[in-house]
Amino acid sequence: MSDYSVPDSWLVDKFDIELASGGKVQARKVSMEDVIEMGLIDNLDFFGSIAGKGKGAKKKQLQIAQGETAITPDQIKKMMGIVNKVILKGVLQPAIHPVPENDGERKDGLVYVDHIPYDDRLEIFQKVFLDDLGGEEFAQFRDESVKVVGALAEKSEVQRPSKPTTRDVSLPPESVLPGS
């Protein structure tokens, strides 16, 4: 018998997520250490402002939900860049792959993060990261933002692709958003 042991806190807790779309993934919690490692720590204030955290966030969230204030395409791109990175870190099975630089680099049979429907991505994000950070507000935001993104898609300047496309899921420069 060894004098050494591994505490339970060192082990990765795996859990299943049953998605509303009928899918199922095995995942793990994404910790703040993971967020720092992924270089996302400076983006949490941005995300919190539209997900129900921070000064004036609840008012802004309500305005977004009621269509009084629009989430810009750049804000959605930035938010989804954060969501996609967290999903890539948190989902254990099936294997999820980052979007390749060039469309020609895609391989048949692989699941890329941009193949996951928007509402499934937000549900996974909530369960692997936000549930431990007061995710109730995010659950409401997720439900309302699906409506907002749908409304944005109806505008001519913002279109949803009919099938997954190659797009940059990395975070845009901070200068993209006013006040960033």
Domain presence at residue 16: no
Provide the residue range defining the domain that includes 47. Answer: 26-161
Assess whether the previous peptide bond of 94 is cis (omega < 30° from 0).
yes
Chain segment 9-34, per-residue pLDDT in tens: 777 789 999 998 999 999 999 988 88
Length of the chain: 180
The mean pLDDT value for 49-60 works out to 55
Tell me whether residue 1 is in a domain.
no
The answer as to whether 143 is a domain residue is yes
Kindly state whether residue 176 falls inside one of the protein's structural domains.
Answer: no
The answer to the question of residue 6 being in a domain is no
Q: What is the pLDDT of residues 106-118, one digit of tens each?
A: 999 999 999 999 8
User: Is position 10 within any domain?
Assistant: no
Residue 19 DSSP class: -
Does 61 fall in a domain? yes
Helix (H, G, I), strand (E, B) or coil at 46: helix
CB atoms within 10 A of CB 67: 11
Q: What is the DSSP letter of 117?
A: -
Cα–Cα distance, 124 to 84 (Å, whole number): 10
Do the Cβ atoms of 64 and 148 come closer than 8 Å?
yes
Give residue-wise pLDDT tens across range 58-105: 565 565 555 555 667 887 788 888 899 999 999 999 999 999 988 889
Strand 91-93 to 24-28 pairing: antiparallel
Instruction: Look at the chain and report how many structural domains it folds into.
Output: 1
- Is 149 within the bounds of a domain? yes
Helix axes 57-65, 135-153, angle to 10 degrees: 40
